[in-house]
């Protein structure tokens, strides 16, 4: 083994345990109880993590006064090898609040401001100051929001993800520009990316379109490496993400029909009626999941094809319609996950790739026998959302199991934050799981960590979950907001410093595009206010006139445990409105013949 | 009803005459044949006058064929003598603008030759 005896710099995440003003040395303990002594240097800087579009508050000399025992901080310092170990000198400190036990990201409007800034960034980057026109949409957006000008490809999922972000931003802020972005994006997807298959009675979505000057070529089969020349379930699922979130706001029946027909595609072609679950890929001509042409994707099932329905569109479709068909489909996907994904005799990570008969696929392309940290965490928070609707013991047990094991193998307990892809098994002689590719931390993995523990705490109340949620959120809000360029970074190094190489310096890629950052802001706002800090939440809707079944607008912010929230006030076009059912979370729009804005205040009931 | 495909070479243009149904059952064979032809030929004229039905599987096969022509070397697939029903379907699904379309095979030879 190597002897490490050179200086290096790194980050420590922990809680202050003592401060000695005489020596100017403080100690902090990591969340797994390892203690470090850190000395201030002449140039140590400190600040409180600021939200997007807010000025950074430097601490100056006050930083020493702020070192109260129990306060959570990040310290970036230089480690010098000395006779008795390493001396650490602080370069900078990052606090999450001005006072002990204050976490600014738990303020009532933190996530509203963040989603506002992120949606603003994407609106300006894609459409400038003019009207929203998706002909001008580009998949590639640089760090500071510049885009390609010549020939380009527009991807269905990438647009749909941004539409999801705009619709969510409208719901939280009521800013009409975001609604315009969501509605026009949905319309663009319907006009350019949709294939209504009248022979089969289903709808599917093109991978994208190639635009060369004024000429547009539709691309049916995926162009992505993993899914090449197939119709992947993943793309069909995410094609619905933006339109369905927009449907929650507008009630546009055309979107509902698209969703119904796409679900029909899942049920008729992706569903394995014999062995259960959804196949991951179809042949683009025959729509056969077992076609030899699919190669490595033939007759496969995976996390995305089974589990991504719920977070991407299905929960939102259920919230907006209350249709039991979608409720049953949700239950089916979660029951399937609980049945097949746990693999704790073999690995702390779930099994997420399967053959047709549910035997484990451990040789698939890049994934091999690796686990994606965020997929594990995403299972946990979505099981807990479903638990609010259907409190099955097995949902809670599986979510708790994930929450128990993941910090030990997927979280960086030294620096904070969640890793990316890990080897699922230890090899001979190893005591810690190896990184699949690198130790960088992606923005979307942080989202999964934050929401997993936030929702677990919100629903079940365990204080340990709140601690991990706070540590995860502190890391994200300290290091991911791009205060110069706008929105959030794709990846940071293990120590929290932005990683700006290759595709990871971009902000409009197929995976990014404002989706995860807005999903995080929306759900963190809902969960923090309604379940944790117990403060009211305001949501905005703008339904088309006369289109909602029974003129009933469903305004539930998410699936939350029964009886935890109710409507406290409603305004229609800024005037107080009394026709609502507080406990059922519905607003009656009878006798309203014009398009109106509906603002709803939802409050915690005080009980669970 | 099955499908039959005949390939004829005339100067620069390869004529592909398709008869019968292009549906879920026959579309894979149609697709395979088209890709085979496109390996050798640069300009293909597809005579659809004897196709009595094209299902969505047929449309998808046409779309994938079109995609293939856009990759790598420049290839042309043109359509001739579309029956009205098939023309309407291709128009409704937005596929028609991807192809050069000729009213007759003769017009196709003239236009492409």
Assigned token pair, A295: 């190669």
In angstroms, the CA A529 to CA A108 distance is 6
- What is the β-pairing status of strands A580-581 and A586-588? antiparallel
Whether residue B74 is predicted with pLDDT greater than 80 in this model: the reply is no
A249 and A320, same domain (yes or no): yes
pLDDT value, residue A601: 98
Give chain A's end-to-end CA distance (angstroms, integer). 53
From the CB of residue A214, how many other CB atoms can be counted at a distance below 10 Å?
Answer: 6
A542 and A523, same domain (yes or no): no
What long-range pairs does A19-24 form, CB within 8 A, spacing at least 24? A19/A64, A19/A67, A19/A69, A21/A64, A24/A64
In angstroms, the CA A607 to CA A182 distance is 35
A437 and A563, same domain (yes or no): no
In angstroms, the CA A552 to CA A226 distance is 43
Cβ within 8 Å, pair A199-B56: yes
Contact predicate A32/A18, CB 8 Å: no
* pLDDT, mean of residues A350-362: 97
pLDDT value, residue A380: 98
Containing structural domain, residue A65: 8-102
pLDDT value, residue A579: 98
Q: Where are the domains of chain B?
A: 3-112
Instruction: Provide the pLDDT confidence category of residue A360 given band limits of 50, 70 and 90.
Output: very high
Local structure of A116: helix, strand or coil: helix
Residue A115 burial (C-beta neighbours within 10 Å; 0-12, 13-18, 19+): buried
Contact predicate A370/A542, CB 8 Å: no
* pLDDT, mean of residues B39-52: 94
Contact predicate B4/B18, CB 8 Å: yes
Last residue of a domain, one of A102, A123, A142: A102
* Chain A residue closest in CA terms to B69: A217
pLDDT value, residue B67: 80
pLDDT digits (tens, 9 = 90+) for B1-39: 689 999 999 889 999 999 999 998 999 999 999 999 998
Which residue, among B63, B71, B98, would best test binding to A if mutated, counting the most A CBs under 10 Å from its CB?
B63
Assigned token pair, A79: 């480690």
Q: How many CB pairs under 8 A join A and B?
A: 41
* Chain A residue closest in CA terms to B55: A199
What is the nearest CA distance from A192 to chain B, expressed in angstroms? 9
CA angle A155, A158, A160 (to 5 degrees): 105
Q: Which of B27, B93, B95 has its CB closest to that of A285?
A: B27
Whether residue A607 is predicted with pLDDT greater than 60 in this model: the reply is no
pLDDT value, residue B73: 65
DSSP-derived letter for residue A22 is T
Q: Please name the residue ranges forming H helices in chain B.
A: 27-40, 56-70, 84-92, 105-112
In angstroms, the CA A156 to CA A205 distance is 7
pLDDT digits (tens, 9 = 90+) for A72-99: 999 999 999 999 899 999 999 999 999 9
Whether residue A384 is predicted with pLDDT greater than 90 in this model: the reply is yes
Beta bridge pairs of residue A86: A81
Is the Cα dihedral B84, B90, B96, B100 positive or negative?
negative
Q: How many domains does chain A have?
A: 3
Q: Which of A200, A210, A286 has its CB closest to that of B27?
A: A286
Q: Considering only A196-210, A274-288, A390-404, B67-81, which range has the smallest mean pLDDT?
A: B67-81
In angstroms, the CA B90 to CA B46 distance is 14
Q: Rounded to whole angstroms, what are the CA distances from A21 to A25, A92, A484?
A: 7, 17, 35
A506 and A458, same domain (yes or no): yes
Cβ within 8 Å, pair B67-A200: no
Output the DSSP codes for A286-330.
Answer: T--TT-GGGGGGTTEEEHHHHHTHIIIIIHHHHHHH--HHHHHHH
Contact predicate A27/A35, CB 8 Å: yes
Q: Which of A131-140, A226-235, A395-404, B72-81 has the highest mean pLDDT?
A: A395-404
Instruction: Provide the pLDDT confidence category of residue A150 given band limits of 50, 70 and 90.
Output: low
* pLDDT, mean of residues A228-239: 95
Residue A331 burial (C-beta neighbours within 10 Å; 0-12, 13-18, 19+): middle
Contact predicate A305/A277, CB 8 Å: yes
Closest CA to B34 of B45, B25, B24, B23: B45
In angstroms, the CA B38 to CA B44 distance is 7
Q: Which of A198, A216, A220 has its CB closest to that of B64?
A: A220
pLDDT value, residue B10: 87
DSSP-derived letter for residue A51 is P
Whether residue A314 is predicted with pLDDT greater than 70 in this model: the reply is yes
Instruction: Provide the pLDDT confidence category of residue A450 given band limits of 50, 70 and 90.
Output: very high
Which residue, among B27, B53, B56, would best test binding to A if mutated, counting the most A CBs under 10 Å from its CB?
B56
pLDDT value, residue A474: 98
Residue A372 falls within a domain, yes or no? Answer: yes
In angstroms, the CA A426 to CA A411 distance is 16
Collect all residues with Cβ–Cβ distance below 8 Å to A65 and sequence separation of at least 6: none
ipTM metric: 0.77
Class of domain B3-112: alpha beta
A560 and A471, same domain (yes or no): no
pLDDT digits (tens, 9 = 90+) for A186-195: 999 999 999 9
A561 and A513, same domain (yes or no): no
Q: How many CA atoms lie within 13 A of A357 on its CB side?
A: 1
In angstroms, the CA B15 to CA B44 distance is 6
Local structure of B67: helix, strand or coil: helix
Q: Which of B55, B66, B97 has its CB closest to that of A199?
A: B55
pLDDT value, residue A433: 97
Helix A373-389 and helix A393-410: axis angle, to 10°?
Answer: 160
Q: Which residues of A36-58 are buried (b: 16+ CB within 10 A; e: fewer)?
A: bbbbbeeebebbbbebbeeeeee
Last residue of a domain, one of A499, A515, A532: A532
Whether residue A456 is predicted with pLDDT greater than 90 in this model: the reply is yes
The phi-psi region of residue A599 (left if phi > 0; otherwise alpha if psi is between -120 and 50; otherwise beta) is beta
Residue A3 falls within a domain, yes or no? Answer: no
pLDDT value, residue B72: 62
* Chain A residue closest in CA terms to B27: A285
Assigned token pair, B42: 């640069």
Q: Rounded to whole angstroms, what are the CA distances from A490 to A153, A481, A512?
A: 21, 10, 7
pLDDT value, residue A608: 47
What is the nearest CA distance from A204 to chain B, expressed in angstroms? 11
* pLDDT, mean of residues A448-463: 98
* pLDDT, mean of residues A315-330: 98
Residue A2 falls within a domain, yes or no? Answer: no
pLDDT digits (tens, 9 = 90+) for A37-77: 999 999 999 999 999 999 999 999 999 999 999 999 999 99
pLDDT digits (tens, 9 = 90+) for A251-265: 999 999 999 999 999
φ/ψ of A552, rounded to 5, equals -105, 120
A242 and A136, same domain (yes or no): yes
Whether residue A151 is predicted with pLDDT greater than 80 in this model: the reply is no
pLDDT digits (tens, 9 = 90+) for A546-567: 999 999 999 999 999 999 999 9
pLDDT value, residue A297: 96
Cβ within 8 Å, pair A197-B56: yes
Cβ within 8 Å, pair A218-B95: yes
Last residue of a domain, one of A102, A125, A143: A102
pLDDT value, residue A59: 97
What is the nearest CA distance from A303 to chain B, expressed in angstroms? 27
């Amino acid at each position: 083994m190597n002897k490490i005896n050179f200086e290096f710099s790194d980050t420590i995440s922990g809680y202050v345990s003592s401060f000695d003003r005489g020596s100017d040395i403080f100690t902090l303990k990591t969340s797994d109880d390892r203690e470090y002594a850190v000395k201030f240097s002449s140039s140590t800087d400190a600040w409180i993590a600021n939200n997007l579009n807010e000025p950074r508050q430097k601490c100056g000399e006050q930083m020493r006064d702020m070192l109260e025992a129990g306060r959570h901080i990040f310290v970036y310092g230089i480690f010098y090898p000395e006779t008795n170990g390493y001396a650490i000198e602080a370069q900078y400190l990052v606090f999450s609040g001005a006072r002990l036990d204050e976490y600014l990201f738990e303020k009532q409007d933190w996530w509203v401001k963040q989603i506002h800034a992120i949606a603003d960034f994407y609106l300006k980057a894609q459409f400038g100051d003019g009207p929203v026109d998706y002909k001008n949409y580009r998949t590639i957006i640089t760090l500071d929001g510049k885009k390609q000008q010549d020939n380009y490809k527009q991807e269905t999922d990438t647009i749909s993800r941004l539409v999801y972000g705009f619709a969510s931003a409208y719901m939280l802020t009521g800013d009409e520009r975001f609604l315009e972005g969501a509605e026009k994006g949905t319309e663009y997807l319907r006009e350019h990316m949709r294939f209504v298959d009248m022979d089969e009675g289903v709808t599917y979505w093109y991978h994208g379109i190639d635009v060369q000057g004024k000429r547009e070529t539709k691309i049916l089969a995926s162009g992505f490496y993993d899914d090449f020349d197939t119709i992947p379930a993943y793309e069909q699922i995410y094609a619905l993400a933006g339109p369905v979130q927009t449907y929650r706001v507008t009630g546009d029946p055309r979107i509902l029909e698209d969703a119904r027909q796409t679900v029909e595609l899942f049920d008729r072609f992706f569903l394995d009626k014999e062995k259960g679950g959804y196949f991951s890929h179809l042949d683009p001509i025959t729509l056969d999941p077992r076609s030899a042409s699919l190669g490595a994707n033939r007759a496969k099932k995976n996390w995305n094809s089974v589990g991504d329905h719920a977070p991407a569109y299905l929960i939102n479709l259920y919230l907006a319609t209350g249709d039991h068909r979608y409720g049953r489909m949700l239950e089916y996907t979660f029951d399937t996950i609980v049945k097949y994904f746990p693999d704790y005799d073999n690995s702390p990570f779930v099994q997420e790739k399967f053959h047709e008969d549910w035997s484990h696929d451990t040789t698939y392309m890049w994934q091999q026998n690796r686990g994606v940290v965020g997929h594990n965490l995403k299972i946990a928070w979505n099981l807990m959302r479903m638990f609010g609707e259907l409190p099955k013991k097995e949902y809670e047990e599986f979510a708790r199991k994930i929450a128990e094991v993941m910090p030990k193998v997927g979280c960086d307990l030294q620096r904070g934050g969640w890793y990316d892809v890990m080897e699922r098994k230890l090899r001979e002689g190893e005591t810690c799981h190896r990184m699949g590719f690198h130790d960088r931390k992606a923005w979307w993995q942080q989202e999964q960590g934050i929401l997993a523990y936030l929702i677990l705490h919100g629903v079940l109340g365990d204080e340990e979950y709140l601690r991990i949620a706070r540590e995860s959120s502190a890391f994200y809000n300290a290091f991911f907001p791009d205060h110069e360029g706008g929105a959030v970074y794709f990846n940071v190094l293990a120590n929290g410093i932005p990683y700006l190489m290759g595709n990871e310096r971009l902000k409009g890629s197929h995976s990014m595009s404002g989706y995860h950052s807005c999903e995080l802001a929306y759900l963190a706002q809902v969960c923090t206010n309604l379940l944790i800090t117990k403060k009211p939440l305001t949501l905005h809707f703008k339904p088309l006139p006369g289109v909602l079944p029974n003129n009933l607008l469903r305004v539930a912010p998410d699936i939350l445990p029964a009886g935890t929230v109710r409507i406290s006030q409603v305004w229609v076009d800024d005037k107080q409105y009394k026709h609502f059912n507080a406990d059922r979370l519905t607003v009656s729009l009878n006798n309203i013949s014009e398009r109106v804005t509906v603002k709803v205040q939802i409050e915690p009931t005080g009980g669970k | 009803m099955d499908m039959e495909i005949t390939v004829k070479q005339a100067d620069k243009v390869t004529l592909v005459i398709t008869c019968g149904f292009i549906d879920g059952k026959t579309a894979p064979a149609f697709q395979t044949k088209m890709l085979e032809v496109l390996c050798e030929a640069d300009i293909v004229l597809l005579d659809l006058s004897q196709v009595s039905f094209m299902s969505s599987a047929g449309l998808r096969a046409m779309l994938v064929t079109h995609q293939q022509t856009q990759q790598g070397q420049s290839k042309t697939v043109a359509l001739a003598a579309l029956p009205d029903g098939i023309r309407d379907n291709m128009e409704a699904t937005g596929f028609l603008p991807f192809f050069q379309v000729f009213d007759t095979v003769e017009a196709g030879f003239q236009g492409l030759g």
